[in-house]
Amino acid sequence: MTRSWNKIKEVIKKDPRYVIQAYQFVFEALDYTTTQLGKSKYKTTDADRHVTGKELMDGIRQYGLNQFGYMALVVFEQWGIYQDVDFGNIVFNLVEGGLMGKTETDTKEDFKNSYDLKKVFNDEFKFEGNYDIRLSLNALGIKK
C-alpha cells in the first residue's frame, strides 16, 4: 500500500491540480462502479473488469451523492475538480502512473460532456426522506 501511495505522490508532483483525496475518491468510485455493474476486480481478464469513462462518470455521480450529498460539489471544488474532464485527467494521471489500466479505445475525451457537475450536484439534488424543516426552524426560534 505504501508503494501505491508513493506512486500517487509522484503523480501529484507531475500534476498538482488535484489533491490526494481526489485520487482516493476516484479509486473508491471505481470500486463502487465495478460492484454496481457486477464486474469484479478478481475477474481474470481486463475486459471482465473494465468500465468505460461514461460508466465511471455515472458511478462517480452516484458515489459522490452517497458520500457527500448536497456538499458533493463543494468537496470536489476543494479537491480541484470543477468539471467532468477533471475526473478524466485524474484517471489518465493514474494510468500514466501505472496505477490504473485502460484499453486501446479509452481516451480523456470519454469524460468530456458527461454531465455538468453544478447541474447534477446542486440544481438537480433532491432531499429525500421525511425530514420536517419546521422542526429545525423552531429550534432556531424561527416560526414558520
Query: pLDDT digit string (tens) for 75-102?
Result: 999 999 999 999 999 999 999 999 998 8
> Whole-model pTM?
0.81
Structural domain contains residue 49: yes
Domains: count for the chain:
1
| Residue 81 contacts residue 18 (beta carbons within 8 Å) | yes
Domain hosting 15: range is 2-139
Q: Residue 144: inside a domain, yes or no?
A: no
For residue 36, tell me if it sits in a domain.
Answer: yes
Residue 13 domain-assigned (yes or no): yes
pLDDT, the chain, mean: 87
Burial class (CB in 10 A: 0-12, 13-18, 19+), 19: middle
14 falls within a domain: yes
Give mean pLDDT in consecutive 10-residue pieces for the chain, a chain of 144 residues. Answer: 82 96 96 88 65 94 94 96 96 94 89 90 75 68 68
pLDDT at 141: 73
* 101 occurs within a structural domain: yes
User: What pLDDT is stored for residue 41 in this prediction?
Assistant: 62
Quote the CA–CA distance of 135 and 144 in Å, as a whole number: 10
User: What does the pLDDT read at residue 27?
Assistant: 94
Establish if 83 belongs to a structural domain. Answer: yes
